[in-house]
Amino acid sequence: MKIKPVLDALDAAGAATDLVHAGQHYDEDVNDVFFADLGLRSPDHHLGTGSGTQAEQTARVMTAFEPLLDRLAPDVVVVVGDVTATLAVALVTAKSGSRLAHVEAGLRSGNRTMPEEINRIVVDRISDDLFAPSPDAVANLVAEGTPDGTIHLVGNVMVDSLLANLDRASRQPLLADLGLEPRTYGVVTLHRPANVDDPVVLARLLSALGAVARDCPLIFPVHPRTRAALRDHALPPGLRTVPPLGYLDFLALESGARLVLTDSGGLQEETTVLGVPCLTLREETERPITVTEGTNQVVGRDPDRIVAAARAALGRPWAPRRPEGWDGHAADRIAAVLCER
């Protein structure tokens, strides 16, 4: 979702590109279907990382990527987001002769117990070009002493993908297949370790979701990580699980919802653009612009707070928001900087 518009913009600008798939996400439900939905070409190189601890995944990506980088000798390596593979590829690139560019730079939650936060900090520190999605991300980089001329406020590539695919998503038959009418249901996603790995925390969240579901039925596409954690829990009435969805199907589901409850970063951004109220089931967000200029509320994991916020959100209208640079052309601005370099 993040690399597709960047790759298209670079191709349109005449750049020669190689697409490398790290293999960190390899389940067909959360990998192959996204390539098909987005029209993303098959990877030119596949590192085949697979599962394992974060240290194991980092090491596998580094050892697989290093010989590829030596062989290709690119002018620039572009990494996106904050996953383990992003960090691993960045570390190898920073010690090579290639430039390193980070798309979605400058995001900070302030919570270093999150692996993603460490990844963001390290990758930004060693990158040559930092493409920030929002003014708050620029402010974070400036406060950390990032050198002048390396920070570029380009906007949000996730929004590029959303706007490019919204019409296609509206024609998906998913709602009819599930027997749903727009604005009659909510959507839930949970996948972060802090929410799904601790049985006590997960039970409290399920209790809150059950209370919300009494006011608004909830559809819960279950992430592979979460699927295993749910085996030891009884699902409350009104919470309906479905298998993981492809990009277009999920966009159709999300855009038709009355409410989204999530621990995902990307959904906080998408719901802002769609005008769907979002409750973030975490204690902080690395995307505060979705709170100050969007439809997002950070409500934490306390069941009473979650239920109260959900009922309040269901009782008021929400309008779509477009923060600066969330206009569908972030990738064009990224390509322009990279080609100028």
Q: Mind giving me the DSSP string for 246-310?
A: -HHHHHHHHHT-SEEEES-HHHHHHHHHHT--EEE-SS--S-THHHHSSSEEE-TT-HHHHHHHH
Q: How confident is the model at residue 319 (pLDDT cuts 50, 70, 90)?
A: very high
- Helix, strand, or coil (residue 171): coil
Give residue 23's region: left, alpha or beta (phi > 0; psi -120 to 50): left
Query: Which among 211, 239, 216 has a CA at the least distance from the CA of 308?
Result: 211
Give residue 51's region: left, alpha or beta (phi > 0; psi -120 to 50): beta
State the pLDDT at residue 26: 56
C-alpha 2: how far from chain center: 8
The β-bridge relationship of strands 186-189 and 99-103 is unpaired
In this prediction, residues 22-26 reach a mean pLDDT of 72
Tokens 């029209």, located at residue: 39
- Name the fold adopted by 173-314: Rossmann fold (3.40.50)
Distances (CA, A) of 105 to 90, 100, 168, 283, 309: 13, 12, 29, 21, 30
**Domain range summary for the chain, segments of one domain joined by +:** 3-156+326-340, 173-314
- Helix, strand, or coil (residue 151): strand
C-alpha to C-alpha distance for 127 and 130, rounded to whole angstroms: 6
Active site residue 191: yes
Annotated active-site residue in 21, 102, 191, 223: 191
- Give tens-digit pLDDT for 129-187: 999 999 999 999 999 999 989 999 999 999 999 999 999 999 999 999 999 999 999 99
Q: How confident is the model at residue 258 (pLDDT cuts 50, 70, 90)?
A: very high
Top CATH class of 3-156+326-340 equals alpha beta
What does DSSP assign to residue 179? T
State the pLDDT at residue 336: 98
C-alpha to C-alpha distance for 107 and 117, rounded to whole angstroms: 8
Contacts of 200 (CB under 8 A, 6+ apart): none
C-alpha to C-alpha distance for 247 and 121, rounded to whole angstroms: 28
State the pLDDT at residue 31: 73
Residue type, 260: V
Residue 240 burial by Cβ neighbours in a 10 Å radius (0-12, 13-18, 19+): middle
Query: Which among 296, 311, 302 has a CA at the least distance from the CA of 262?
Result: 296
Write down the pTM of the prediction: 0.93
